[in-house]
Structure formats: C-alpha cells, structure tokens
Amino acid sequence: MNFRRLQSFFHKEFLHILRDRRTLLILFGMPLAQVLLFGFVLSNEIKDTNIAVLDQSKDVESIALTNKLASSGYFHVALTLQSADHLEPAFRSGKIKMAVVFPPQFGKQLTHEGSAALQIIGDASDPNTATTLIQYAQGIVFNYGRQRASSQASAGPTIAVQTRMQYNPEQKAVFTFVPGVITLILMLVSAMMTSITIAREKELGTMEVLLVSPLQPLEIILGKTSPYLLLSLLSTVVVIVLSMTIFGMPMRGSVLLLALECILYTFVALSLGIFISTRANDQMGAMFMSALGLLMPTMLLSGFIFPRESMPWALQVIGYAIPATWFNPIVKGVMIKGIGLEVLWPQTMVLLGMAMFFLVLSLRNFKDKLA
Amino acid sequence: MLLDPNSPSQNIIAVHQLTKKFGDFTAVDAISFEVRRGEIFGFLGANGAGKTTALKMLTGLLKPTSGSANVTELDVVRYPDKVKQCIGYMSQKFSLYEDLTVRENIRLYGGIYGLSNARIKDKTAQMLAKLNLEDQANALVGGLPLGWRQKLAFTVALLHEPGVVFLDEPTSGVDPLTRRQFWDLIYEAAHQGVTLMVTTHYMDEAEYCDRVSIMVDGQIKVLDTPRNVKNQLQATSMDEAFRILARPQNTAS
C-alpha cells in the first residue's frame, strides 16, 4: 500500500465524478427526487377518498351514518346514486373508489329488529386500497352502531376497543418509504455506480494500463470504491435530513449506530459492485446486471414496497439473500423504534457475513478477470 | 558499441520456454527469445496467434504455465512489482483518460509511478514543449485529435523513464502521416536507450523494427532482422513474408 499512489488515484476518481453531470445527478438528484416522490406521491394514506352513496331508505339512520362517513375525513361523498344500475358506471368512470348501499327500510329494521344490513362495495382493481377503505368504513359503521346502542338504555355490556398505532400513530407512509429509499440509494450508488465505473475502465482499456502499473489490485479497488463510499454516505445524510425536516421522521435511536450500520451495508453493496464489474465486460453489461440483479430485488423483494409476509414462500426465501432485507429493519428499528444492537444484532451479523463473503469473492475474482 | 552483444547484461528481455495454457488450449507454446537494450523489437502475428497472451505474461498481467521470463534482468513471476516499476505500457485502446486534461493525465501517471511533485512539474513542462502542446495543457484530452492523443499516450508511457516499453498496436486507426511521426518518437526513445517491444498489424511498420518475430499458433516461426526474414522466406516484402507464414496450411479457415 502506497499513500502517494492512492492519493493520485483518488484525485483522478473525484475529477471523473465532478466532470460527469450524469453521475452527479444520480448521486444527489436521484435521492432527492425519490424521497420527495415517495413522500408526497406514493403515500397510501386514506384522505378524502371519493365514494358514492346509494340510499334506498333515506331515513334518519341512513342519513346520520352517511354524515358520519363524510365527516370522518377519510371519505368524500362525490356521488349520490338513485338506482343500483348506476353503480357499475360510477366505478367504471373511476370517479369513486367505494360505494355504500343502504337497502330500503334500513332505519326501520334497525329500530325495530335491532339489526340491519348495508353493503359496502370496494373497487378491487386496486386491492390494497380497497381493503384499507373497507376497513375504515367498517370501523365507522361499527362505531356508529355501538354509540347508538349505548345511547339506548336497553343496551347490554359493550367492549370498547381502543387502538393505537405504536411508533407511527399517524400512519405516515414516509416512515416506511424513507428506510426503503436509503437501502435503494446506497445500493444504487455503491453497487451500480462502482460496477459501472470499473467496467468503464475495462471498456476503455485504461484498466490494463493500471494493472501494468505499480498499483496493487487492492489499491485499485480502494481507489475506485472509496470516493463512492464517501458520496453514498453523503447522499444518505441528505435523505435522512430531508425526511426529518420535511416529513417529520423521528430519530429515536443512536445516530452513531445508524451511521455504522450504513457503512456496513455500503461495504456489502460495494463488494457486490466489484463482483459484478469482474463479470461484466462493459458499462452496459454492468448496468443491466446491477439493475436486474440488485436494484429490482432490493425494491420488490426486500419488503420495501410489498410486505414480505404476503409473498409466496419461494420469493421469501430469495428475499433472505438480499442485503436490504436485513438492512431495512435496522434503519426502521433505529430511527422509528429507537432500538439498538441488543435487538438488531442478528441482522447486523448477517450483513457482516455478507460483507466478508462478497469482499473475499470479489477480491479473488478481481485480478484474474480484469486483465 | 564496444560491449559484446551476446553478454547477458545486454539482453534486457530474456524469455525461455515460456508457455501459457488455458485448459487444453496452448496459447503460447514454449517460446524463447532475447531482446537487446535499445532495440526496437517487432512482435508480429495474426489475431489469436498468441502475441497478446505473451505480452500479458511479460507485463505481469498473466502468470505463465511454465517457462521463465526476465524483464530488466528481473524474473516477472518472482518480482512482478519491481518489474512493473521499470516498464512502460501503451495498449491498443487509448490509455489516457479523455475526461481529464493533458496536465491531469501526466500528474496521475506521475503519481502512480511515485514521481515527486517537483519532478512531475519538470517532466510536464518538458513533455508539453516536446509535443508542442503548451496551449492545450489544460484542455481535456478527449478534445485532442487522435494523432496527438497517441503521441501524448506514448510520451506518458515514458514518463517514469522505463527501461522497456511495450506498445500493443499503438498505431491502429491512425492516419499514415501521424503513424510516421509516431515512429519518429519511437526511434528517438530507442536512441536514448529505451527498449521497445511493438506489436502491429501494419507490415510497413515491421520494416522499421531492428528485429521482428512472427508468431503462428503460439510458436515463434521466425525471428531475425526484417531483411533476413524476407531473404529466408524468399519474399519481396514483409507483407508477403507474413502471409507465407501466417497462411493457414492444413486447415480450411
């Protein structure tokens, strides 16, 4: 290891990065766009969703319940339908996501028989949203029934259920997306950018010149990866600060622990990037391999967007091999729950193992495959 | 020169029974040759004849399967790091960074070869003056004409004053006039005692070499001065000599 050689190499690497507008854009524009996008647009919060009401009863009870739904803040009664025939066209037009149907005699049945049925129809072309909407509506209907019952003297004992969403009482979607975005960005910058920049030297032929020079393979790897390690951590800081200031994401645990875990995860990503670059012959190859092999699984299988619990068994198993699957709970745990290594040590150990495994693998491959 | 040309110290490259096998395929088949100090040695052969593999072994990029190679009197297998410090290399692809300026490229390679800052500064000034590139010192290399870039790449390969410089098809894709100028630079370096080992596809360039070897199927079929090679094969030009040797004799393709 020779400091002077390394220093010259770092200098060159920073010049490459600073002169390439696309690299800078990916390093800093991408994280910014992703946080804002996921924070504002991709939220799965329910707010003022358009619904239709088909009230065939039009009595005190049905009107009171409709008002309850409308005043909850979750729903907005956009359409008042006159006939069941209008339901289908309303859903088709996309104006509504849910419909509530009161049968004739709804109020009468409720008062005289003590029970009545109503129908809630959800637009299941988007099943996740439909399920959530129906759950919210059911909750409101259930509450209404209970209040009504308890206001009458004849009511028997009732159980009051009080729910609380621990750690994220407002159920902000950003809380799940920010950790996901961090895993994605670190993977993108560290693995993809490193593999591309090494593949570029191979493609251009400069790698041969470097390998013939007194630079050691380890020095080349260090020189190529350290700038990206630094920059990816910098863009992580940008993401975290943004999420805290704009979206009110908490930082309940140790910042130091989070920083160390980020560095550990970055090491895994970097060694994956080096490994890919030893396999790919050009920049395009490196890009496809890291996009398909790393970014897609990180996004789809790690539990970032889709919950792992609802995945088929085989996909869950594949998910275990993805570093983000282990890193995601760490970020969530530290930032939102405020827990430390006493809980997160298994995930940390897995990441440590992955880092060692891929680092050894890529170092062994590096010299043989690059020449 | 008064020195005995056969004395071992005159041989800056000494290759003995050098072999490289990839599985069942023998890319380089027990080649032996010597290159004298200050010589321009042409290393010819068709694509796939094994010259790139041989060059990779001489520069420490590949480990030989068997045999030995001494470069600047050092065994390349045993002392790869010392050898690397004493050799220069210019690949057939462009070996400088196009998104760095002329000055930055020189600084980078100076730093990699351990030159002091003061020395890099001196060298930079010398090189820029020699190549008439003073006005372009802070221009990106990518914007220079191809001929200038190749000349610059060669000069950068000489930056750390190596004993041997390996040039792997340095003039491919360069116009004839620039090729001629490029060879002037090669002659100049040879006069200063630098040994040059050149691979090329241009047979007129082979005539410029002091000695040439022609590789066929991993073996060196002929090794002599261009004139003797032509006489030996009863060819009127190097081009013809090359075709006589490299022509597939038993196989159809």
Mean pLDDT lowest for which of A78-82, A302-306, B95-99, B229-233?
A: A302-306
Rounded to a whole number, what is the distance in Å from the CA of B249 to chain A's nearest CA?
32
pLDDT tens digit sequence for B120-179: 999 999 999 988 888 999 999 999 888 888 889 999 999 999 999 999 888 887 888 888
- Taking Cα atoms as reference points, which of A58, A143, A62, A132 lies closest to residue A97? A132
What does the domain layout of chain A look like in residue ranges? 3-42+173-369, 49-150
Residue A240 contacts residue A261 (beta carbons within 8 Å): no
Q: Which two tokens stand for residue A34?
A: 């992703």
Residue B212 contacts residue B245 (beta carbons within 8 Å): no
Q: Is A371 on the interface with B (CB under 8 A)?
A: yes
Rounded to a whole number, what is the distance in Å from the CA of A251 to chain B's nearest CA?
41
Q: Is B112 on the interface with A (CB under 8 A)?
A: yes
Residue of A nearest to B55 (CA): A212
Rounded to a whole number, what is the distance in Å from the CA of B61 to chain A's nearest CA?
6
DSSP H helices, chain A, are 3-19, 21-24, 30-36, 60-71, 87-93, 106-113, 127-151, 174-186, 194-204, 206-212, 217-247, 255-279, 283-290, 296-300, 313-320, 323-332, 341-370
A4: chain B residues, CB-CB within 8 Å: 111, 114
User: Which strands make up the sheet holding B11-22, listed edge to edge?
Assistant: B25-36, B11-22, B66-71, B74-75
Residue A342 burial (10 A CB sphere; 0-12, 13-18, 19+) = exposed
Encode burial over A252-273: b for 16+ CB neighbours within 10 A, e otherwise. Answer: ebeeebbeebbebbbbbbbbbb
Nearest-Å Rg of the Cα atoms of chain B is 19
Residue B9 has what pLDDT?
58
Query: If you average pLDDT over residues A254-269, what whole number do you get?
Result: 92
Q: Is the pLDDT of residue A351 over 50?
A: yes
Residue A125 has what pLDDT?
87
Residue A295 has what pLDDT?
85
Q: Is A282 on the interface with B (CB under 8 A)?
A: no
- A contact residues 221-250, partner B, Cβ 8 Å cutoff: none
Say whether A118 sits in a helix, a strand or coil. Answer: coil
- Would the CB atoms of A12 and B90 count as touching at under 8 Å? no
Q: Is B79 on the interface with A (CB under 8 A)?
A: no
Pairwise CA distance, residues A36 & A39, whole Å: 5
Pairwise CA distance, residues A10 & A165, whole Å: 48
Residue A244 contacts residue A182 (beta carbons within 8 Å): no
Rounded to a whole number, what is the distance in Å from the CA of B54 to chain A's nearest CA?
13
Residue B159 has what pLDDT?
92
Query: If you average pLDDT over residues A168-181, what whole number do you get?
Result: 74
Residue A156 has what pLDDT?
59
- Would the CB atoms of B109 and A213 count as touching at under 8 Å? yes
Say whether B37 sits in a helix, a strand or coil. Answer: coil
Residue A13 contacts residue A163 (beta carbons within 8 Å): no
Query: If you average pLDDT over residues A211-228, what whole number do you get?
Result: 87
Cα angle B13, A217, A365 (rounded to 5 degrees) comes to 105
> Which of B81, B85, B112 is facing A9, going by the closest CB pair?
B112
Say whether B198 sits in a helix, a strand or coil. Answer: strand
Q: Which residues pair with A101 in a beta bridge?
A: A54, A119
Q: Which residues pair with A49 in a beta bridge?
A: A75
The residue that leads in pLDDT, A146 or A351, is A351
A–B: how many Cβ contacts below 8 A?
A: 77
Q: Is the pLDDT of residue A371 over 60?
A: no
Residue A43 has what pLDDT?
60
Say whether A280 sits in a helix, a strand or coil. Answer: coil
pLDDT tens digit sequence for A94-146: 889 999 999 998 888 888 887 888 899 998 888 878 888 888 888 888 888 88
Q: Is A11 on the interface with B (CB under 8 A)?
A: yes
Pairwise CA distance, residues A190 & A174, whole Å: 23
Q: What averages of pLDDT result for each successive group of 10 residues across chain B (253 residues)?
A: 50 93 91 93 88 90 90 90 91 85 94 92 93 90 88 92 92 84 92 92 87 91 90 87 74 43
pLDDT band of residue A346 (cuts 50, 70, 90) is: very high
A214: chain B residues, CB-CB within 8 Å: 81, 84-85, 112-114
Highest mean pLDDT among A183-192, A286-295, B103-112: B103-112
Q: Please, what sign has the CA dihedral across residues B122, B123, B128, B131?
A: positive
Pairwise CA distance, residues A366 & B17, whole Å: 28
Residue A158 has what pLDDT?
61
B61: chain A residues, CB-CB within 8 Å: 208, 211-212, 371
Q: Is B93 on the interface with A (CB under 8 A)?
A: yes
Rounded to a whole number, what is the distance in Å from the CA of B216 to chain A's nearest CA?
23
Measure the N-to-C terminal CA separation of chain B; round to a whole number of Å.
47
Query: If you average pLDDT over residues A259-285, what whole number do you get?
Result: 89
Residue A309: count other Cβ atoms within 10 Å of its Cβ: 7
Would you mind telling me the total number of residues written for chain A in this entry? 371
Residue A171 has what pLDDT?
65
Rounded to a whole number, what is the distance in Å from the CA of A215 to chain B's nearest CA?
7
Fold held by A49-150: abc type-2 transporter like fold (3.40.1710)
- A contact residues 12-51, partner B, Cβ 8 Å cutoff: 12, 15-16, 19-20
Pairwise CA distance, residues A216 & A54, whole Å: 76
